[in-house]
């Protein structure tokens, strides 16, 4: 605060000295008008401020009195002084304008590519959560239990634990993850191969960066996870689309010679939900071996997709250390957790760790420790059961109410074992237009066509169904019905003709 006041004109040399309080008052006033002190921010206690500035407390209180009279600040009993938004006083915002003019160095080609490929709707969190795809039931996360684990961590903290931490993650978490993966995924791996990250996308970023040169070929499923597709394009990769059929990724006819890796979601193809058949898995491993390429297995959803019919991972089947396995807790628990992991072949371990160390260092130790205990004490298993039960219940409620109110406009496909369903549009409107229309009404649903890496006739909405409680599901579907019936103003009886219009 001392520096801020001096920058705004406060001087201990104010003459005569009895006018020191005016210098302080002026400095505060200037700081408030120039928005260096934001409305509602708390001022330091008068005693502390007097001490910092080396002046008497009565001088500070005199300055505060003037500011109070002129309504620049207010006093809250028992709490302190707060900045007011001064009425009738013109605030001068000193923040440089967004369109600042000047000659700056140009962006790198990579920087430009990242900007160009960031068109996926992601930053729409101010629009609520219904029906954003991929969210678990957020309202059943055991907040108190998690808080207790965090409290335990801080109760036992030692000063050295506040220092820099191991980049690849806490040993206890990696040990617990190795156990968890052995039991739940039939994966045998050395904890030393596990790298804790902030999630699957972070893992993918690290791996792609150490592997890809510009123009390298990358095979992706069509459709695929758009953020992954965007990342590969930003890194200059040439995208080779592999079509998806009822057995998962079909390797026939993929236009590539020498791919660096295949990015695949075999447990639960994203976004179709198709589970890759055993035949295809074997074919893929054989193909990868012949092409001498890597496989990136994004197992973002295995807890859901393997609930009823467990099928192992590609990583577990791979005898050649070609598979890089990505796992995440952000989908099962909640995305703001930012905790995931990858299992990396030894060959890549050092390079991935080096890039990680030179960029984001490591994941918050507090979260890692809490998650380690969450797994060790079997809370994860219990939470998984709750999540499964609640999401299945909500899927039924969603489908019932969706079909009742919106069934004329959509064909709802609920076959995906994960956290979203696909509503194929029957009316004459594009999914992109409908996505925007719904977003304007704070309803989130992603256009299916955006998941495709080649032009497509697919026209639908990918919708998460379980992040909110049943009442909110029904209310939001009611709102959606109003929007849809307005933007698709066609008598539902004419729906046979709609395909023609499309």
Ligand X SMILES: Cc1ncc(COP(=O)(O)O)c(C=O)c1O
Interface with ligand X (CB under 6 A): 134, 199-201, 225, 265, 270, 298, 300, 328, 330-331, 335, 340
Q: Rounded to the nearest whole angstrom, what is the least distance from the CB of residue 338 to ligand X in the complex? A: 7
Q: Rounded to the nearest whole angstrom, what is the least distance from the CB of residue 337 to ligand X in the complex? A: 9
Backbone dihedral angles phi then psi of residue 240, each to the nearest 5 degrees:
-115, 115
DSSP character string of 406-461 = HTTTEEEE---SSSEEEEEE-SSS-HHHHHHHHHHTT---EEGGGG-SS-----EE
In the bound state with ligand X, the residue whose beta carbon lies nearer, of 17 and 336, is: 336
* Residue 221 burial (C-beta neighbours within 10 Å; 0-12, 13-18, 19+): buried
What Cα–Cα distance (Å) separates residue 390 from each residue in 262, 329, 421? Answer: 34, 17, 15
Q: Which two tokens stand for residue 140?
A: 């059943």
Largest Cα–Cα separation, the chain: 90
Q: Rounded to the nearest whole angstrom, what is the least distance from the CB of residue 299 to ligand X in the complex? A: 9
Sole residue written with tokens 């019905």: 481
For the chain, how are helix, strand and coil distributed in percent, rounded to 5? Answer: 45, 15, 40
In the bound state with ligand X, the residue whose beta carbon lies nearer, of 23 and 269, is: 269
Backbone dihedral angles phi then psi of residue 347, each to the nearest 5 degrees:
-55, -30
Q: Rounded to the nearest whole angstrom, what is the least distance from the CB of residue 435 to ligand X in the complex? A: 16
Answer yes or no: are the C-beta atoms of 95 and 221 closer than 8 Å.
no
In the bound state with ligand X, the residue whose beta carbon lies nearer, of 225 and 374, is: 225
In the bound state with ligand X, the residue whose beta carbon lies nearer, of 230 and 340, is: 340
In the bound state with ligand X, the residue whose beta carbon lies nearer, of 53 and 296, is: 296
In the bound state with ligand X, the residue whose beta carbon lies nearer, of 265 and 293, is: 265
In the bound state with ligand X, the residue whose beta carbon lies nearer, of 83 and 466, is: 466
Q: Rounded to the nearest whole angstrom, what is the least distance from the CB of residue 17 to ligand X in the complex? A: 60
Quote the CA–CA distance of 306 and 326 in Å, as a whole number: 16
Q: Rounded to the nearest whole angstrom, what is the least distance from the CB of residue 307 to ligand X in the complex? A: 17
Answer yes or no: are the C-beta atoms of 445 and 457 closer than 8 Å.
no
Q: Rounded to the nearest whole angstrom, what is the least distance from the CB of residue 464 to ligand X in the complex? A: 10
Q: Rounded to the nearest whole angstrom, what is the least distance from the CB of residue 6 to ligand X in the complex? A: 44
Q: Rounded to the nearest whole angstrom, what is the least distance from the CB of residue 322 to ligand X in the complex? A: 20
Sole residue written with tokens 């990396």: 344
Q: Which of 145, 139, 195, 172 is nearest to 469 (CA)?
A: 139
Quote the CA–CA distance of 42 and 60 in Å, as a whole number: 15
Q: Rounded to the nearest whole angstrom, what is the least distance from the CB of residue 31 to ligand X in the complex? A: 40
In the bound state with ligand X, the residue whose beta carbon lies nearer, of 198 and 293, is: 198
Bridge pairing between strands 217-222 and 238-245:
parallel
**Closest residue (Cβ) to ligand X?**
199
What Cα–Cα distance (Å) separates residue 70 from each residue in 83, 212, 255, 336? Answer: 12, 62, 73, 43
Answer yes or no: are the C-beta atoms of 50 and 56 closer than 8 Å.
yes
In the bound state with ligand X, the residue whose beta carbon lies nearer, of 33 and 211, is: 211
In the bound state with ligand X, the residue whose beta carbon lies nearer, of 242 and 340, is: 340
Q: Which two tokens stand for residue 468?
A: 């909110």
């Amino acid at each position: 605060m001392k520096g801020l006041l001096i920058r705004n004109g406060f001087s201990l040399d104010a003459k005569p000295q009895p006018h020191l309080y005016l210098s302080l008052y002026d400095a505060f006033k200037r700081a408030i008008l120039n928005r260096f002190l934001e409305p509602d921010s708390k001022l330091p206690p008068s005693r502390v401020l007097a001490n910092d500035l080396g002046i008497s407390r009565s001088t500070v209180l005199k300055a505060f009195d003037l500011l109070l009279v002129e309504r620049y600040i207010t006093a809250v009993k028992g709490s302190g002084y707060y900045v007011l938004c001064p009425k009738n006083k013109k605030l001068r915002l000193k923040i440089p304008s967004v369109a600042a003019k000047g000659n700056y160095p140009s962006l790198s080609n990579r920087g430009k590519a990242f900007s160009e490929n960031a068109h996926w709707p992601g930053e729409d969190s101010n629009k609520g959560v219904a029906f954003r795809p991929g969210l678990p039931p957020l309202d059943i996360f055991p907040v108190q239990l998690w808080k207790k684990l965090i409290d335990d961590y801080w109760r036992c903290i030692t000063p050295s634990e506040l220092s820099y931490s191991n980049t690849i993650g806490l040993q206890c978490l990696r040990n617990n993850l190795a156990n968890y993966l052995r039991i739940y995924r039939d994966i045998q791996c050395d904890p030393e191969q596990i790298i804790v990250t902030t999630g699957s996308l972070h893992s993918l970023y690290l791996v792609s960066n150490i592997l890809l040169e510009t123009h390298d070929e990358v095979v992706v499923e069509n459709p695929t996870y758009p953020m992954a597709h965007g990342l590969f394009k930003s890194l200059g990769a040439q995208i080779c689309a592999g079509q998806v059929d009822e057995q998962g990724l079909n390797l026939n006819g993929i236009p590539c010679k020498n791919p660096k890796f295949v990015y695949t979601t075999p447990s639960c193809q994203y976004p179709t939900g198709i589970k890759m058949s055993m035949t295809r898995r074997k074919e893929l491993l054989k193909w990868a071996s012949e092409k001498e390429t890597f496989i990136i297995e994004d197992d973002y959803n295995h807890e859901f997709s393997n609930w009823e019919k467990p099928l192992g991972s590609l990583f577990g089947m791979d005898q050649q250390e070609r598979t890089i396995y990505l796992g995440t807790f952000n989908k099962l628990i909640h995305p703001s957790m930012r905790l995931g992991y990858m299992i990396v072949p030894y060959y890549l371990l050092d390079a991935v760790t080096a890039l990680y160390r030179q960029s984001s260092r490591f994941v918050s130790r507090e979260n890692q420790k809490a998650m380690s205990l969450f797994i060790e004490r079997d809370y994860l298993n219990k939470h998984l059961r709750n999540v499964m039960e609640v999401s299945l219940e909500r899927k039924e409620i969603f489908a019932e109410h969706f079909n009742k109110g919106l069934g004329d406009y959509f064909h709802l496909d609920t076959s995906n074992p994960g956290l979203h369903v696909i509503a194929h549009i029957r009316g004459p409107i594009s999914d992109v237009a409908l996505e925007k229309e719904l977003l304007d009404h704070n309803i989130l649903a992603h256009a299916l066509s955006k998941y495709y890496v080649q032009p497509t006739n697919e026209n639908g909405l990918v919708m998460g169904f379980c992040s909110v409680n049943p009442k909110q599901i029904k209310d939001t579907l009611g709102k959606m019905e109003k929007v849809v019936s307005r933007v698709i103003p066609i008598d539902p009886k004419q729906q046979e003709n709609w395909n023609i219009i499309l």
